[in-house]
Amino acid sequence: MASGGNKELHRRAFLGAAAALLAPALSDAAENTGIVPIRFGLTPVFLTSDLELLGRLQSYLQRSTGSPVTLVNRRTYQEITALLTSGQLDAAWICGFPFVAHRSELQLVAVPLWHRKPLYQSYLIVERDRRASDLDDLRGDIHAFSDPDSNSGFLVTRAALAQRNLRPETFFAKTFFTYGHRDVIRAVASGLAGSGSVDGYVYDVVSELEPELTSRTRILKASEWLAFPPIAAPRTIADPSRFEAVKRAFLQMNDDPEGRAVLQMLRLDGFASEDPNIFDTIAAKAALVAAAG
Amino acid sequence: MNASRFRSWPITIKVPLAVVALMILVGLVLSERVLARLTETQQRHLVELSQSYLDGLSSAIAPSILREDNWEVYDAIARAQEINKSLHPIETVVTNSEGAVIAASDPKRHPIGTSFSPNDISKTKAFSYSAGADTANAMRTLSYPGRVAGIIYTTFDTRHLAAERRDVLMALALTNGALTILLAAAGWLLVTHMMRPVRILSEHLGVARETLAVPVPDEIVAKTTGEFGHLFRGYNGLVRSMKEREDLSKRLAEEERLGSLGRLASAVAHEINNPLGGLFNALSTMKTHGHLAGVRSSSLGLLERGLVGIRDVVRTTLAVYRRDSGSRNLVPADIDDLGMLVAPEGRRKYVTIQIDNRLDGPIAVASTPIRQALLNLLLNAVAAAPEGSQVNATVSAGTAALEIVVSDYGGGMPESASAVLTAGYGPPPLDGGGLGLWTTSRLVAEMGGRIEIERLRPSGTTIRLIIPILRAELSDVA
């Protein structure tokens, strides 16, 4: 929201406006020539408000796939997941939790590499000066979750409580969802929430970009390494060439200057083709939670 | 200080003081009006801005408030504070209908779920702001038909308004102060300048009270125009006429002295002429029969008596009319001399003059004015007395005063003459008559004495002079 200076805001606004003008033009062109644009969904997994990033990603994907690309943003994971499973999107960057939840309906396109691994952690964060050392110390808190379909921003903490035979609504005094990892950090930093569950990757990148925001919080506990939120596509696809084009675009992003720029902005090393088994730990957590009821 | 003391202050102080007082009053009234207007404007702007802030915030949080979505409400507050920076919102608290905090701009002060009740009664009004205060409060109840959904409490920082107010007040105070000092100084200069002619006139009048009036110098009169020019010229005209009058009085007194001298001169000449015939006869007898011892001695005796008579007449005349005869004290002989002086005039008019000189030694009064005054009275009485009548004069001395009484049996002194005689330092008679009486009146007044006039029955006048006798030590000094 208030990240970056005025100059950057202007630059972003301009690029955003350019992208907004460009996208419909391309879509119209596609409709006129009979080419259906590739629809790519984005969850608020990361800096979805960064219009420059969106513009460059769209530009890269269009050039790489040779097709017009429409980026679809929604407020919640659930909306994107629903669009994806119903075949209204060709691919989407979703979270590991919906991926395992809809495993039968989805297939992996690529998994981002962060620090050269397709892994990340979930952080349990508290206010900087808070005297607490473990999840157990947070009883009676107001707790900020990111999204009910987020692995790192909900499932990990939920599963940790389930292991203790606890439920968030009874363990915490109150919980709320911010529908964005950065907003979880803001909620904890401002004191609105006593603690929060946040994506470790997002937290680290935000601490690099906005150290004054994360400096008001500290990491109470980091989870084990879990599979990074993947790019997924519906399991049944009408046109395999479009799927391949999208997959190739992600896997070869590192070979292209614009792709590298996008990766640099995302602080990622690239995308890799991974075995869906890396999501088993997340699936186990989901199962644990489901068993707890 | 009391009012009478203020009234006695010079006008050069009073006018600037009045200007200062007036300016302070005007300054106070103006400042009050300006500040009132400023407060009104500030308050109106503040109300408008706060309402627009609350409008924006209300529409942003209305759906979230029903869901009690803490994050969305908090995010809306944070965004509204960011957007409305010019309004300086310090704190915003949103509660549900039970007063439990849904979200606040500072969650640490007002955590979620804690009960918020405004500690200040002014916070429960839709808007409250008092001029010069550091904060203003606004409240908005979000209600849906039938129930209250939530309440927004906002506190705005109004220190910049208070500072603006202070700046305006300071500017007003400085401007008014400077203007007051300036106008007071201008008033002082103006009044001092305007009052200069009055001061000059007042100084000249002050001098006139003690001595003779002095005219305002011509160069000052020439420089002064307008009303004060007229005033100066009028004053100088007055001074001139006073001086002329004074000079005239002196001249008249002198002329009267000379006039009476003239009248006497013929009497004296007659007095000297009378024995001259006898003297020449004696001389002729001496020439013819000088060898006869008896004739010679009788002729010499005749000559001697005649010459003594002439000498006495001359001496007396000299004594009366000699200038600067000093302030010798009165002696009995002075009165006798007067008898001798007026005797010829009496004889000429066939009036007997009876002088009763009861003095037996020197009296501590100046002889010259007494003699002149008495001579004037005697001559006046002789002139008024009918033929064959008698004029009586009595001179006697008590311990404190010398009393001289002159009576005649004339037709009585006219009222105008009486007025001149008893007027003291009064003006000389306009028709030029009665100068002798006027001179007498002045002389007596100068000696500190007084004159009483009594009309006699069936006719005649008695005039009484009472002259105080100087104390011994003073007479020595004199």
ipTM of this complex: 0.81
For chain A, the average pLDDT equals: 86
Place of tokens 């946040």: A198
The C-alpha atoms of residue B337 and residue B355 are separated, in whole angstroms, by: 11
Q: Check B71 against A1: CB less than 8 A apart.
A: no
> Measuring CA to CA, which residue among A111, A134, A109, A114 is closest to residue A124?
A134
Whole-angstrom Cα distance, residue A211 to residue B444? 120
Angle between helices A156-163 and A280-292 (to 10 degrees): 50
CA gap A74, A15 in Å, rounded: 20
Question: Fold match between B3-174 and B326-478?
Answer: no
Is there a contact between A84 and A219 (Cβ–Cβ < 8 Å)? no
**Tokens describing residue B85:** 């920076």
Q: Is B326 on the interface with A (CB under 8 A)?
A: no
State which residue of chain A sits closest to B81, comparing Cα positions. Answer: A2
Please, are residues B103 and A192 in contact by the beta-carbon 8 Å criterion?
yes
Residue B456, φ and ψ in degrees, nearest 5: -95, 155
Give the C-alpha separation, A85 to A106, whole Å: 7
> In angstroms, what separates the C-alpha of A45 from chain B's closest C-alpha?
17
Q: List, in sequence order, the alpha helices (H) in chain A.
A: 6-33, 51-65, 77-85, 96-101, 156-163, 168-171, 181-190, 200-209, 211-214, 240-251, 257-266, 280-292
CB within 8 Å: A2 and B82: yes
Q: What's the pTM? A: 0.62
Neighbour tally for B29: CB within 10 Å? 10
Q: B240-323 maps to which CATH number?
A: 1.10.287
B425 neighbors B409 (Cβ within 8 angstroms): no
Q: Taking CB atoms and an 8 Å limit, are A191 and B112 in contact across chains? A: no
Which secondary-structure segment (H or E) carries B74?
A: helix B70-83
Q: Residue B210: its pLDDT value, please? A: 67
> Closest partner residue to A177 among B71, B79, B112, by Cβ?
B71
- H helices of B293-424, in order, are 293-321, 332-349, 367-384, 415-421
The CATH topology of domain B326-478 is: Heat Shock Protein 90 (3.30.565)
Successive 10-residue mean pLDDT values, chain A, 293 residues: 40 43 46 74 69 90 93 89 93 94 94 95 93 91 93 95 93 93 94 94 92 94 95 89 93 94 92 94 94 83
DSSP string covering A252-275 = TGGGSHHHHHHHHHHT--EEE---
Walk me through the domains of chain A, giving residue ranges and CATH numbers.
6-118+227-289 (3.40.190.10), 122-223 (3.40.190.10)
Nearest to A47 by CA among A80, A21, A85, A73: A73
Cβ(A244)–Cβ(A120) under 8 Å?
Answer: no
Residues in CB range of B340: below 8 A, 6 or more apart? B312, B313, B316
Parallel, antiparallel or unpaired: strands A270-272 and A106-113: antiparallel
Domain spans in chain B, listed from the N-terminal domain onward: 3-174, 240-323, 326-478
Of B71, B103, B106, the CB nearest to A144: B71
Show the 3-state SS of B35-58. HHHHHHHHHHHHHHHHHHHHHHHH
User: What confidence tens digit (pLDDT) does each residue in A205-219 have?
Assistant: 999 989 999 999 999
Contacts of A190 in chain B (CB under 8 A): 74, 78, 106-108
d(CA B94, CA B69) in angstroms, rounded, equals 11
Q: Is B308 exposed, middle or buried (0-12, 13-18, 19+ CB in 10 A)?
A: exposed
pLDDT digits (tens, 9 = 90+) for B257-312: 777 667 667 667 766 776 677 788 888 888 888 888 888 888 888 788 778 878 87
Half-sphere exposure of B147 (CA within 13 A, CB side): 7
Contacts of B112 (CB under 8 A, 6+ apart): A142, A174, A192, B70, B101, B102, B103
Classify domain B3-174 by CATH number.
Answer: 3.30.450.20
CA distance B333 to B340: 10
pLDDT, tens only, B40-69: 898 888 889 888 899 999 988 988 888 889
The residues that bridge with A117 in the sheet, in sequence order, are A114
Angle between helices B435-446 and B367-384 (to 10 degrees): 150
B106 touches chain A (CB under 8 A): yes
Which residues of chain A make contact with B106, given a CB cutoff of 8 A?
Answer: 190-191
Q: How far is CA B283 from CA B31, B157, B272, B290, in A?
A: 117, 140, 16, 9
Q: Using CA coordinates, name the residue in chain B closest to A179.
A: B71
Q: What stretches in chain B show pLDDT beneath 70?
A: 1-3, 119-124, 208-211, 260-261, 263-264, 266-267, 270-271, 274-275, 319-327, 426-435, 471-478
Cβ-defined contact of B78 to A190 (cutoff 8 Å): yes
Cβ contact A187–B112 (<8 Å): no
Question: Is A222's Cβ below 8 Å from some Cβ in B?
Answer: no
Within 10 Å of residue B227's Cβ, how many Cβ atoms? Answer: 9
**Mind listing the pLDDT tens digit for each residue in B391-411?**
999 999 888 889 999 999 888
